[in-house]
Amino acid sequence: MELGNNERLMLRLMLSDPNEAWEMSKLLDGTGLTDQVHIAGAGEYLKQQGLLIVNETILTNITLGSEGNKSIEIGLLELRLWNYLLSLKNEDRTMKNLINSDFERYETGPGVGILKGLGVNIEAGIFTTPDDSLVTSKINDRVLFLNKINQENVISGDLDKNMIKHFSSRKNLIQIEESIRRNWKLTDKGAKYDSKALDVIELIGEITPELLQGDSWKNMKFKPFDVNAPAPTPAGGRPHPMQSLIERIRSVFLEMGFSEIEGDYVQSAGWNMDALFIPQSHPARTMQDTFYLSNPDKIEVDEKYLDLWANVHENGHDTGSKGWGAEFDKEESKKALLRTHTTVNTVRHIANNPDLPSKVFGIGRVFRQETIDRTHLPEFHQIEGIIHEPNANLSMLISTLKTFYSKMGYPDVRVRPAYFPYTEPSVEVDILWRGEWLELGGAGIFRPEVTEPLGTEWPVCAWGMGLERLAMLILDLDDIRQLYQPDLERLQKMPLI
């Protein structure tokens, strides 16, 4: 098998001292190669040819952590506590005195435990030991250990195993890092290799149009490529997985004939809720659930809509409904808030285009007062959409959602009856994922109480789906927070969407 130039350079260098175990820095210097990857690659190939062996030693490097550095500066906790106790008469070495001393609570708490571990007893609130000097000497050993680490980068083999174990169990005192050190050594076969056969040859690594214009390539040698050779994964830039997912959803809806709409984060309660026939007494409207704003605290709403919503909410207006009955408060409608769902965008779209059939969607951020946990964030995204046209109906809605989720890779979709104040019928939308039905959003046909004030008599298919839930399925995550943590390593490994 023909050797490449990197292999030739490396082998020729190693033959200059065939018994040497060559380290990376010497190989780089000697060959003139500048990238460790080239040495590692050439070494791998020569190893496969039986010409050299690679020795690997795992090194454990120990350095001080943040608490370790602090101990060097102000003294190890047990040393300071112990010196304090030693400064007192035996009968004054009490827990009470310790608590009232200058030590902070976060120090005395764990500190007492550490002293106990060193053989200090507490009898009737007094610290006692069988032999004070024993405690002093144990503490000194610990201090010496930390000083040693502080002075030089030490390799674990040189240190007391029990001390390493002890300090590893304490937070941030020491840091242990493993690294691999390699060296390369010729085998007998390698040492016998004829170095005259190792001149660097001109190899063609890249076939360019210029090269192919002439005939010279016919007599040249081509660089062999080993597609199975280990290589570093290129850490190039890539869009954030959430951004890629949004782009993909966007293209699916565009492909299905929808147009995209947008809206503001800041909305009035009127458009966010009253327009959707959500009663003003609804629990979701409280401060616990919704972020109301103080600046601006009010947003003007067209009086025409306030009148219509007031009528519909109080008595149903001309919709055939009886409304909610309770008195409608127009000031409540003007309250400014962060939108709690993107349904506000679709109703506003209908209000602006009541006579125009439309199929629109939007992917937007929404805000709710949620405690952050594995499945909840106070800011998340919805995939919203409507079909507003004279013959819109429930089966059209369901088949649209089925088509959408099939295109996203989830062909099994089902709907279950549900309740929203603004749709009738209302459904919850589930998809089948690894044998389980998972709820991804809500949908339905807008009620006349919603559409009449908007100025249309056509039915409206409407839906609002969770984006993060879908992302978690696609990216195989079990914690929603992982989507937004700036953990580059995890992000790098997420699948391409």
Question: Rounded to an integer, what distance in angstroms lies between the CA atom of residue 197 and that of residue 120?
Answer: 73
Size of the site for ligand PHE (CB under 6 A): 11
What are the residue ranges of helices labelled H in 353-392?
A: none
Extract the tokens encoding 354.
């009541």
Q: Is 384 left (phi over 0), alpha (psi -120 to 50) or beta?
A: beta
Q: Which is nearer to ligand PHE, 31 or 382 (CB)?
A: 382
Letter for the amino acid at 191? Answer: A
Of 44-52, 99-107, 246-254, 462-470, which segment contacts ligand PHE by CB under 6 A? Answer: 462-470
- Judge whether 173 and 55 are in contact, CB under 8 Å: no
Residue number with CB closer to ligand PHE (317 or 368): 368
Exposed e or buried b per residue across 306-326, where buried means at least 16 C-beta atoms within 10 angstroms of its C-beta: bebbbbbbeebbebebebbee
Cβ proximity to ligand PHE: between 23 and 289 the closer is: 289
Paired strand residues for 360:
259, 386
Give the separation between CA 177 and CA 372, rounded to whole angstroms.
Answer: 33
- Nearest-angstrom CA–CA distance, 150 and 442: 60
CA distance 93 to 120: 11
Examine residue 463 and tell whether it contacts ligand PHE (CB under 6 A): yes
Query: Using the rule CB under 6 A, is 381 a contact of ligand PHE?
Result: no
Q: Judged by CB, which is closer to ligand PHE: 82, or 361?
A: 361
Report the nearest approach of ligand PHE to the CB of residue 423 (Å). 5
Question: Which residue stretch of 120-128, 405-413, 460-468, 489-497 sits at the interface with ligand PHE (rule: CB under 6 A)?
Answer: 460-468
Q: CB of residue 294 vs ligand PHE: minimum separation in angstroms?
A: 24
Q: How far is the CB of 444 from ligand PHE (least distance, A)?
A: 5
Of the pair 71, 346, the CB lying nearest ligand PHE is at 346
Among 40, 443, 450, 483, binds ligand PHE (CB under 6 A): 443
Which token pair is 287?
């401060």
Least CB distance to ligand PHE at residue 365 (A): 13
413-442: which residues touch ligand PHE (CB under 6 A)?
420, 423, 441-442
Q: Which of 383, 386, 395, 309 is nearest to 354 (CA)?
A: 386
Minimum separation from the CB atom of position 428 to ligand PHE (A): 9
Asked if 364 is part of the footprint of ligand PHE (rule: CB under 6 A), the reply reads no
Q: Supply the DSSP symbol for 308.
A: H
Q: How far is it, in rounded angstroms, from Cα 475 to Cα 248? A: 14
234 and 43 in contact (C-beta within 8 Å)? Answer: no
- Which residue of 146, 464, 471, 474 would you call a contact of ligand PHE, by CB under 6 A? 464
- Closest to ligand PHE by CB, 120 vs 443, is 443
Indicate whether 462 belongs to the interface with ligand PHE (CB under 6 A): yes
Nearer of residues 189 and 365 to ligand PHE, judged by Cβ: 365
Closest to 461 measured CA to CA, from 447, 449, 473: 447
448 binds ligand PHE (CB under 6 A): no
The yes or no reply on residue 380 touching ligand PHE (CB under 6 A) is no
Could you tell me the smallest distance in angstroms from the CB atom of residue 483 to ligand PHE? Answer: 19
Distance (Å, whole) CA 400 – CA 397: 5
Do residues 280 and 332 touch, judged by C-beta distance below 8 A? yes
Could you tell me which stretch among 55-63, 68-76, 112-120, 457-465 binds ligand PHE (CB under 6 A)? 457-465
First to last CA, the chain: 41
Q: Does 343 bind ligand PHE (CB under 6 A)?
A: yes
Nearer to ligand PHE, 43 or 464 (CB): 464
Of residues 126 and 418, the one with the C-beta less far from ligand PHE:
418
For residues 79 and 473, which CB has a smaller minimum distance to ligand PHE in the complex? Answer: 473
Q: Looking at beta carbons only, is 245 or 443 nearer to ligand PHE? A: 443
The one among 38, 341, 381, 388 contacting ligand PHE by CB under 6 A: 341
Binding test (CB under 6 A) with ligand PHE, winner from 241, 444, 448, 453: 444
- Segment lying near ligand PHE (by CB under 6 A), choices 57-65, 111-119, 321-329, 459-467: 459-467
What is the three-class DSSP state of 295?
coil
Q: How far is the CB of 163 from ligand PHE (least distance, A)?
A: 57
- In this structure, which long-range contacts are made by residues 351-357, counting pairs with CB atoms below 8 Å and at least 24 apart in sequence? 351/275, 351/305, 351/454, 351/455, 354/454, 354/455, 354/456, 355/455, 355/456, 356/388, 357/388, 357/389, 357/390, 357/458
Instruction: Name the amino acid, one letter, at 199.
Output: D
Which residue has the closest beta carbon to ligand PHE? 464
Asked whether the beta carbons of 188 and 51 are under 8 A apart, the reply is no
Site for ligand PHE in 155-214 (CB under 6 A): none
Interacting residues with ligand PHE (CB under 6 A): 341, 343, 420, 423, 441-444, 462-464
